[in-house]
Amino acid sequence: DQQVKQNSPSLSVQEGRISILNCDYTNSMFDYFLWYKKYPAEGPTFLISISSIKDKNEDGRFTVFLNKSAKHLSLHIVPSQPGDSAVYFCEASEDYGQNFVFGPGTRLSVLP
Amino acid sequence: DGGITQSPKYLFRKEGQNVTLSCEQNLNHDAMYWYRQDPGQGLRLIYYSQIVNDFQKGDIAEGYSVSREKKESFPLTVTSAQKNPTAFYLCASSTPGRVEGYTFGSGTRLTVV
């Protein structure tokens, strides 16, 4: 049973438009969420995080939104750039770091 | 520059052989982790270590072993008992609490031939 789901295996977006990547979770005890970006043949790199006491966190072109009642978080990239093309993983954890679970990832392609 | 080094990048193993994947970090992180990635799945935790000379099993520890004799090093041995070892292996480290997530290595792709 997947506790963290990313239902879109892939997403294509035109350069300059908004990319929205979604992540759903089932465990209401999760209280800290992170997004990672992964290029081929490299390890994931940390992108942005949000704790359950917030519903939005912004860092430059990247914004993460958390809807606790729906157990849903999303990553918005505005404007999308070709260099954003990568696989994006969401991670959820309890107690700010314990019981961490990754989603399967969404491959984003930003088309020039 | 600080970071995590995994070696080798590609590794081929014959069935029935043990193989050890290296992971070294110079970030002064206390915690280190090994993950496995298979197509269509999220990263799955194999083993983790919060401190030197101590480690715990993750979700899929069977067929794997680790050691943590030094803070900087967390090698993973894939034993012949691992039934499906072909995968991409990622090592990571973090500060306590992982407020900024993990720092990952670039991974090792293991193929059993």
pLDDT single digits (tens) B69-100? 999 999 999 998 888 899 999 999 988 766 66
pLDDT reported for residue B101: 75
Residue A71, pLDDT above cutoff 80: yes
Contacts of A49 in chain B (CB under 8 A): 99-101
Q: How confident is the model at residue A96 (pLDDT cuts 50, 70, 90)?
A: low
pLDDT reported for residue A11: 96
Q: How confident is the model at residue A97 (pLDDT cuts 50, 70, 90)?
A: low
Q: Pick from B6, B35, B97: which is nearest to A96 by CB?
A: B97
Contacts of A97 in chain B (CB under 8 A): 94, 96-98
Q: Cβ contact (<8 Å) for A43 and B99?
A: no
Q: Quick one: average pLDDT of A79-98? A: 87
Sign of CA dihedral B1, B55, B36, A88: negative
Question: Which range, A9-23, A33-47, B46-60, is most confident?
Answer: A9-23
Q: How confident is the model at residue A100 (pLDDT cuts 50, 70, 90)?
A: confident
Stretches where chain B sits below pLDDT 50 are none
CA–CA dist A94, B7 (Å, integer): 31
Nearest CA in chain B to A31: B99
Q: Cβ contact (<8 Å) for A97 and B98?
A: yes
Average pLDDT, chain A: 91
Phi and psi at B91, nearest 5°, equal -105, 145
CA–CA dist B79, B71 (Å, integer): 23
Distance from CA of B90 to the nearest CA of A (A): 7
Q: Cβ contact (<8 Å) for B105 and A97?
A: no
Give the residue among A81, A85, A41, A48 at the shortest CA–CA distance from A65: A48
pLDDT reported for residue A80: 98
Residue A1, pLDDT above cutoff 80: no
